[in-house]
Chain A
Amino acid sequence: AQSVAQPEDQVNVAEGNPLTVKCTYSVSGNPYLFWYVQYPNRGLQFLLKYITGDNLVKGSYGFEAEFNKSQTSFHLKKPSALVSDSALYFCAASGAGSYQLTFGKGTKLSVIP
């Protein structure tokens, strides 16, 4: 069975500092990996994905994520955090060709002015 772990319930970072939200996965075969963001009282918004190719993927709002196969990780990063980045971030994974997404429990990001 596939699984996704987000080891931090909450991440606090000062505005302007770099941020990292961690994610590790367990998927049979080649994984499809995703990051979604959920703002208060909103649905999930797609940020970025890794399917194949370059290990560093760039997404919306200046976010990027690095696929590391040896560490089975897909950490979300941003060079300079904004207060408006404060939200709940979900990592998700599926097996190649499978539609079944498995989500992590989410990490609450708070960017402090």
Chain B
Amino acid sequence: SAVISQKPSRDICQRGTSLTIQCQVDSQVTMMFWYRQQPGQSLTLIATANQGSEATYESGFVIDKFPISRPNLTFSTLTVSNMSPEDSSIYLCSVDADGGETQYFGPGTRLLVL
């Protein structure tokens, strides 16, 4: 398994601003993932972040809106840019472990955009 932390745990932001969410894992991992969980909904994959390469975004998500950094094997950031109330969600990072068979999740960042 892996121990994953996220900062901030929650935030309230004004529309039009940006928020950067940090994800830290206690061991080196190849792949890190960012998910969005809209209120009352399931999880949707935003992008996959490999160290040393550009993130791979899923359909419906673009780099200008959700830029991602992956500077090393234990850390990643997701920025939610030019926020609107529709961006109010829980944002979760996950990492692959157990030889790549299992994803473990961080505690999430609860974002409210006013």
B-contacting residues of A (Cβ < 8 Å)?
32, 34, 36, 41-46, 49, 51, 90, 99-101, 103-106
Which chain A positions have C-beta within 8 A of B108?
42-43
Enumerate chain A residues within 8 angstroms of B106, measured Cβ to Cβ.
43
Contact across chains for A43 and B102 when beta carbons are under 8 A apart: no
- In the complex, which residues of chain B have a beta carbon less than 8 angstroms from the beta carbon of A106? 42
Tell whether, in the assembled complex, residue A49 and residue B31 are in contact, meaning their CB atoms are under 8 Å apart.
Answer: no
Residue of B nearest to A97 (CB): B100
Listed A/B pairs (7) with beta-carbon separation below 8 Å: A42-B107, A43-B6, A46-B104, A49-B101, A49-B102, A99-B48, A103-B43
Q: Is B33 an interface residue (CB 8 A)?
A: yes
B1 interface residue (CB < 8 Å to A): yes
Q: Nearest Cβ distance between residue A57 and chain B, in whole angstroms?
A: 12
Total number of B residues with any Cβ neighbor in A under 8 Å: 23
Whether A90 and B43, one on each chain, are in contact in the complex, defined by CB atoms closer than 8 angstroms, is: yes
Determine whether the beta carbon of B100 is less than 8 Å from that of A99.
Answer: yes
CB-based contact A46/B102 at 8 Å: yes
Q: Is the CB of A99 within 8 A of B31?
A: yes
B87 close to chain A: CB less than 8 A? no
B105 at interface, CB cutoff 8 A: yes
The answer to whether the Cβ of B41 comes within 8 Å of any Cβ in the partner chain is yes
* Chain B positions within 8 Å of A100 at CB level: 45
A residues less than 8 Å from B102 (CB atoms): 34, 46, 49
By a CB distance below 8 angstroms, the chain A residues around B45 are 100-101
